Homo-oligomer: A and B are copies of this chain.
Amino acid sequence: MVKSDSELHKVALEYLEQRGVTLVEIAELVYFLQEKYIDDISMEKCLDHVNGVLRKREVQNTILTGIQLDIMTEKKLLENPLQEIIAEDEGLYGIDEILALSIVNVYGSIGFTNYGYIDKVKPGVLKRLNSHQNGEVHTFLDDIVGAIAAAAASRLAHDNPEISDIMK
């Protein structure tokens, strides 16, 4: 039977929490991306848009799948060579970026730039996720978190069309 939206939503939020990512940290990424463009930006507004993104079923499905792969890899349950590829966050792998794009896509193409930028600069929580400490694997999660932030930034821009002129 198809899962209800509310069940998937709840599980997706639990997964993020379980993996040590707070919605406030994702909202901080949105703030980082948009502060130069929006005068009356606030953490509250950023958080609202993060929540909006997380209510989308495509986003929930991607969170569940990506984090499941991270966990399986941490537990060394995958077969080689995939186990090593994901554990080492190998540069030519690319499936993590593909899943991330499916999140960015939901709010249209204007999020691509923000996703790429944030993934390269790795501010805040992205730096921590990417540090590969203590045997933790966040190969999928770091791209997913960046994609949620980029999608939330697009959602914010759609709500403030006058801003998006400056954004470009």
Contact = CB atoms under 8 A, between A and B. Distances in A.
Interface of A: 1-4, 7-8, 11, 57-58, 61-62, 64-65, 68-69, 71-72, 77-79, 81-82, 84-85, 88-95, 97-102, 105-106, 108-110, 112-121, 157-158, 161-168
A64 B81 CA distance: 9
A161 B108 contact: no
A61 B1 contact: no
Contact of A167 (B4, B71, B91, B166): B91
A3 B79 CA distance: 14
B112 A101 contact: yes
Given A2-B165, A113-B120, A92 B57 contact: yes
Contacts of A88: 1, 165
A167 to B, nearest CB: 5
A102 B96 CA distance: 11
In the A-B complex, the 4 residue pairs with the smallest Cβ-Cβ separation, listed nearest first, are A116-B116, A91-B164, A2-B161, A97-B109
Given A7-B81, A167-B91, A108 B2 contact: no
A112 to B, nearest CB: 5
B97 A2 contact: no
Contacts of A121: 117
A168 B90 contact: yes
A55 to B, nearest CB: 12
